[in-house]
Structure 1
Amino acid sequence: MFTLTMITPEGKKHISENTRISLPTEDGIRTILANHMDIVVPVEIGKVKVIKDNQSDTVVISEGIFYFKDNEAKLFVRTFEFSEEIDRIRAERAKERAEEMLKRKLDSREMHEAELALKRALTRLSVTR
């Protein structure tokens, strides 16, 4: 068992005891178990599967950094939302806005921001019912 602390710049915080987590990285999904080697890895927008015994929660995260040492995991991200917290209608509207932005002629920075917004919206929608 190990402790996971998720933290945002605004101070939103969640602490849990877990047996396993799987998170999105540049290289694909990385699974962390207790006694994993020390690691610092960037994480991408996506779904984190948090497992304790046989129960699991899904958390949607923004980009950030994951740190693991001595059975202490820290996930520093701009935002995180548990699947049950996500408002499907709001996520659908965000998806529509991002798709509209992508249809416009944008500079590279604006295009990148619109692509990230679409990825966030699609990820949020993928965990709602």
Structure 2
Amino acid sequence: MPGFQLEIVTPEKTFYSGVVEHLQVPGSEGSFGVLSGHVPLLSSLQIGHLSFAEEGGTSRQVATSGGFVEVQQDRVTVLAETAEFGEHIDVVRAQAARERALEHLRSEGETDKVRAQAALSRALNRLRISDNS
């Protein structure tokens, strides 16, 4: 199967650049797959699990926390708020973030519940992906 160029870019750096065989993306309207020759599209990303297979079949798992994806016939560009390979996730830090978010959600103060829910979603996503890597 012919591959296509994948670029994953965060505000800090080019996180990944390489040729991949297929890609699974957490789109805002649901997860979708991309193969070489896919119809062009632009989509927003939700907090979720991005996965791809490099040439040769090596599967990679990435935790993302929103952004955009642009699909062209022979290239996909992911502009992610954050991106982290599953095997590089600091599980202790992610668990601590989960506990902090849960505490904010349980508090009876004027905690910003939307921010706390987003933090909880990011922490749970990171933990789920670290378990799959």
Q: TM-score, normalised by structure 1?
A: 0.92
Write the letter of the residue equivalent to 2:71.
F
Instruction: Write the distance in 2 (CA, Å) between the matches of 1:24 and 1:58.
Output: 12
Instruction: Write the distance in 1 (CA, Å) between the matches of 2:28 and 2:100.
Output: 26
The CA deviation at 1:51 is 1.1
Instruction: Tell me, yes or no, if structure 1 residue 94 matches structure 2 residue 97.
Output: yes
Instruction: Write the distance in 2 (CA, Å) between the matches of 1:106 and 1:92.
Output: 23
Instruction: Tell me, yes or no, if structure 1 residue 24 matches structure 2 residue 26.
Output: yes
| Matching residue within 33, 37, 48 for 2:50 | 48
Unaligned runs of 5+ in 1: none
- For residues 107 and 43 of structure 1, do their structure 2 counterparts lie closer, same or farther at Cα, with a shift above 3 Å needed? farther
CA RMSD after TM alignment: 1.6
Instruction: Give the match for residue 106 of structure 2.
Output: 103
The CA deviation at 1:127 is 1.9
* Greater mean deviation of Cα atoms: 5-14 or 58-67: 5-14
Instruction: Write the distance in 2 (CA, Å) between the matches of 1:32 and 1:107.
Output: 42
Instruction: Give the match for residue 72 of structure 1.
Output: 75
Write the letter of the residue equivalent to 1:57.
R
Q: TM-score, normalised by structure 2?
A: 0.89
Write the letter of the residue equivalent to 1:33.
L
Identity of aligned residues (%): 29
Q: Give secondary structure in 2 for the equivalent of 1:62.
A: strand
Instruction: Write the distance in 1 (CA, Å) between the matches of 2:31 and 2:109.
Output: 31
* Residue deviations 1:63-118 (CA, integer Å, cap 9, x gap): 0000011311100011100011101100000000000111124668x211111110
Tell me how many residue pairs correspond in the alignment: 128
